[in-house]
Amino acid sequence: MSADLVSAGLLAAGATVERLATGFMFTEGPVWHAPSATLLFSDMPGDVRRRWSAASGVEEVRRPANKCNGMAYDAAGNLLVCEHATSRLVRERPDGGVDVLASHHDGAELQSPNDVVVRSDGSVYFSDPWYGRVEGFGVPREKSLPFQGVYRIAPNGTQSLAAAKDEFDLPNGLCFAPGERILYVNDTGRCHIKAFDVAPDGSLAGGRLFAEGIGSAESTTGVPDGMKTDERGNVWVTGPGGIWVYAPDGARLGVLAVPEVVGNLTWGGPDRRDLYICASTSLYRVPTLVAGNPVPGPVGEEASMPSPG
């Protein structure tokens, strides 16, 4: 079905999904660091974080890595990391310091922060399903809260639920539409994506179904997990067979076929037109005709990578 994406002007005819590296347990959380032209990604079962570059290939960055999952940069070049093993969202500063941004809600430990996005005003949104309390992907333990939610951390550090407690079954990937007026959140358990209006103060409202029927919640074939938007507002989400692509009006444009079950994706490269794909045991790349939606992050050669630790 990748031919549909060619017709939609998203892929060039003959574009291929290239395997860059393999031999991992389960790759996740890719994030591009423009100043160094490198990609960070996690391997939760292996409890390690790695870095890939065209110049050096794959290098180990951190072990143990608290079974980290989703990652994102803020405008100051800090790396925000979802840690399954600790049930925390942390900020790793370029000088090597670590700040805990979120660890509890109403006095109870968070389930296990899974994915994270940063708004241009500095506010942070993250999903909190219980995957990090399962053998392999985290530390086996009971659920800490009676729900699995999506949270917002305001620029002043105040943490709150971003949506109602019963809004999701298993909230997972999340991303902004261009302009940050819409936040998309997918639900692995319900196999759909919801869209929320983002008010100027960062609060969410008007939750509505954007796309549904993204597989059957069978993890061995692919489920809604990682998700990003491109500069045109199309939504790219993991699903059965690879990456499903939806137009801003919710119409499905096609599926980018990937040889393995995909966990997450992100754009990178000099013009942000290289799509990097974390798929089970491997890291892949495919050139696209559209750039990824701009997100906060370090720019310019003066920015530095977080300390490997």
User: Which alpha helices (DSSP H) does 154-208 contain, by range?
Assistant: none
**Is the pLDDT assigned to residue 254 strictly greater than 80?**
yes
CATH class of 2-287: mainly beta
210 contacts: CB under 8 Å, gap ≥ 6:
184, 192, 193, 194, 195, 235, 246, 250
Q: How confident is the model over 190-219, as pLDDT tens digits?
A: 999 999 999 999 999 999 999 999 998 888
Percent of all residues in the chain with a pLDDT value above 90, rounded to a whole number: 92
Q: Would you give the end-to-end CA distance of the chain in angstroms?
A: 43
Closest Cα partner for 272 from 33, 22, 49, 17?
A: 33
Overall average pLDDT of the 258-262 stretch: 98
Percent of all residues in the chain with a pLDDT value above 70, rounded to a whole number: 96
Q: How confident is the model over 214-245, as pLDDT tens digits?
A: 998 888 899 999 999 999 999 999 999 999 99
Provide the β-strand partners of residue 38.
Answer: 33
Quick one: pLDDT band at residue 299, thresholds 50, 70, 90? low
Secondary structure of residue 252 in the 3-state scheme: strand
Sign of the torsion angle spanned by Cα atoms 233, 303, 63, 113: negative
The overall average pLDDT reported for the chain is 94
Distance between CA atoms of residues 151 and 142, nearest Å:
20
pTM above 0.85, yes or no: yes
**Is the pLDDT assigned to residue 119 strictly greater than 80?**
yes
106 carries an active-site annotation: no
At residue 300, the pLDDT reads 44
At residue 204, the pLDDT reads 97
Q: How confident is the model over 73-111, as pLDDT tens digits?
A: 999 999 999 999 999 999 999 999 999 999 999 999 999
**Annotation: binding site for substrate:** 114
Residue of 225, 230, 271, 274 marked active site: 225
